[in-house]
Chain A
Amino acid sequence: MKDATDPEGGGLLLIEDTPSLQMIYAGLLRKAGHSVHCEATASKGLAAFHALRPSVVLLDLMLPDRDGLQVMADILHAAPATSVIVITANGSINKAVEAMRAGAHEFLVKPFDEPRLLAAVTNALGASADMGNGTRRSDADADTTRPPPPFIGTSEPMQAVYRTIRSVARSMATVFITGESGTGKEICAEAVHQISNRARGPFIALNCGAIPVDLLESEVFGHLKGSFTGAISDKPGAAAAADGGTLFLDEICEMDLNLQTKLLRFLQTSTIVPVGATHPRKVNVRIVCATNRDPREAVRRGHFREDLYYRPHVVPIHMPPLRTRGADVLEITDSLLSKMASEEGHDFHGLHPRVRELFLRLPWPGNVRQLINVLRNVVVLNRGPLVTPDMLPRDLLAEAHVSELGDHGSVAAGTAGAPSLDAALRALEGKPLAEIERLVVMAAIERNGGSIPRAARELAVSPSTLYRKRDSWDAQER
């Protein structure tokens, strides 16, 4: 039996103030072979913690004599390697989010069942053992400036991303990744998975925006044979396939509102009900979500459920656009160029100085994905040995021209306060195309003193187009 005081065994301390729940949880844990010490107040719990030094603490958030979060802060201050599993009823989700950010290993929402509790404890014991023995996964305790694979780049914005990825490694916290298209959101999700204790489990990625609405529920939760026309066999679905690992839901803001409700239930209960099934099934999955939209704006517009926004938004990670990553563009280029050249059998070993200078200046609206495509184009169509300006795709040179125009425009105009094109574009960073259109149209209307016909003339569209768009935006606002 694993004893609470045995450093090899990990040990558990349960701080829960409702006696019957204490009995149930303790019975469950003991039945699984754990030795557990129980306390019902914060003061006695902390005293037991200092006396026993357990590696895992199960902590109810609402204790009679003190807030559970304060207790957790004291525990982690005294022994940072301790894994604290927070227990809370549904109404405490916001506090649970706060707890995860404050260093909780995991939170369990009452009611939870035996597999869920035991999985959480097993993960927590594993994490604590790794921390205690100094055998934590190499990426977690490695040189913190080194990118976790497969990332490339050491710029300051990316260092912040790496730090966050490492800090969530020992946690089960849901991660919400935002960033423009092509910034590497899926790579970030993979890094979160690879660096976690679930690395041996599956990593399942699902692009919610790429699957027809009618099929998405089946793709996520699975279906039973005969549950709908075309369901010729049972299908497990992504959530079941990711059991024991990580489920990456990309473009989550594109998900149908009805399905968002089901996803929220899945996040709250860790149970799935395949299409056509009558009984729920528990799965043990860590969720990582991503979107290239502003999720708060999507909530404001009613496209994304507010409760679903807060539920997975435990640890947010924003992937910076390539244009803000400085010399990373050259590091990525050098790494990819040699790899692609080897694959294509061509002899490329670097960039011409003018191309290097150009790459540093380009806005890269498609980010790393655009850079990869440009390099592949160059390597496939040319022999080397240096990438010269004439090898670059014409549309990339056009982008460079626009960028230069922007730079020159701000200098040539010399108008105090007049924003350059580049600055104007930067102000639109991270916004969806529809929102950019709205901003441009509204600015044109304002510039023309509120006259829609004059704004329409400036934008070379018919006034009815602008009236229709404005009405639609007004309706969305309401």
Chain B
Amino acid sequence: MNSLSLISAPRSGSETPRQPFDSATLDSLVALCSGVEGAGLLAQLRADFERLEAGVRRCATDRDVVALAARSHEIKGLAATLGAGPLTACATAVQDACDHAHAAALMGDLTELLLAEIGAVIAALKRLEGHDAAGQDHMGPDMTGPDGRAGGQEGLHTPDRAGPGRSGLEKTEYS
């Protein structure tokens, strides 16, 4: 299990918001996806993290360890790709806890930490989207459609949407 010392809780108050992922990595991903796919990458990342955040909350409420392990696994892969070290460590810790029966007691605290880290990532992505909207773009003009779905997604196929009112491409929660 990863050391919890690797996991730092998001700061609050008037401090400068912590960047919970590696900006250079995100910049390179956005640059990499420049053009059709890249147009909605920030929005899509935010949508994915919001979906996963909701999934984790649901698992915690239902005390569904199996589903929580799956969510944590997905978060881990996505966070690592984004260079979000604390979130990766936190998701790894939750997944490890889910895989070990003795860790049920730890799960509550770890899940709270996980949700806090996801929240920090979502907030940072929103800030970046705000910068983009103000013209300091990572990826050109906002191509998010009126329904919130990231634009230019031709060729991308995802599972059916969980419900209305969610932004970005979504996948069905299987738990």
Residues of A at under 8 Å CB distance from B?
17-24, 26-28, 30-31, 36-41, 44, 62, 64-65, 88-92, 110-111, 114
Contacts and interface: CB of A to CB of B under 8 A. Distances in A.
A137 to B, nearest CB: 33
A40 B171 contact: yes
Interface string B152-163: 010111110000
B156 A24 contact: no
Interface of B: 29, 32-35, 37-38, 40-41, 44-45, 47-48, 70, 73-74, 76-78, 80-81, 83, 92, 95-96, 99, 153, 155-159, 168-172, 174
Given A20-B45, A27-B32, A27-B33, 14 more contacts: A17-B74, A18-B171, A19-B156, A20-B44, A20-B48, A23-B33, A23-B37, A23-B41, A27-B34, A41-B159, A64-B159, A89-B73, A91-B92, A91-B99
Nearest to A62: B73
Contacts of B172: 64
Which one of A21, A23, A41, A88 has the highest number of Cβ atoms from chain B below 10 Å of its Cβ?
Answer: A23
Contacts of B153: 23
23 contacts: A19-B44, A19-B156, A19-B168, A19-B169, A20-B78, A21-B77, A23-B38, A26-B156, A27-B34, A28-B32, A31-B32, A38-B155, A38-B157, A40-B157, A44-B157, A64-B171, A64-B172, A64-B174, A65-B174, A91-B73, A110-B81, A111-B77, A111-B83
Given A38-B157, A41-B159, A114-B32, A27 B80 contact: no
A179 B157 CA distance: 49
Contacts of A110: 76-77, 80-81
A22 B155 CA distance: 10
Contacts of A22: 156, 158
Contacts of A44: 157
A24 B29 contact: yes
Given A31-B32, A64-B172, A24 B81 contact: yes
B32 A40 contact: no
Contacts of A65: 159, 174
Contacts of A40: 157-159, 171
A360 B173 CA distance: 65
Contacts of B171: 17-19, 40, 64
Contacts of A39: 157
A36 B70 CA distance: 26
A20 B47 CA distance: 9
Contacts of B35: 27
Contacts of A41: 159
B159 A17 contact: yes
Chain A to chain B: the 9 pairs with minimum beta-carbon distance, closest first: A27-B33, A27-B37, A89-B77, A19-B169, A64-B174, A110-B77, A111-B80, A111-B81, A40-B158
A19 B171 CA distance: 7
Contacts of B44: 19-20, 23
A76 to B, nearest CB: 22
A373 B70 CA distance: 57
Contacts of B73: 62, 89, 91-92
A91 B159 contact: no
A166 to B, nearest CB: 33
A26 B41 contact: no
A20 B32 contact: no
Given A18-B74, A26-B155, A62-B74, A91 B37 contact: no
A429 to B, nearest CB: 38
Given A18-B74, A19-B169, A24 B32 contact: yes
B78 A21 contact: yes
Given A18-B77, A19-B47, A23-B37, A90 B32 contact: no
Nearest to A44: B157
A372 B88 CA distance: 54
Contacts of B156: 19, 22-23, 26, 38
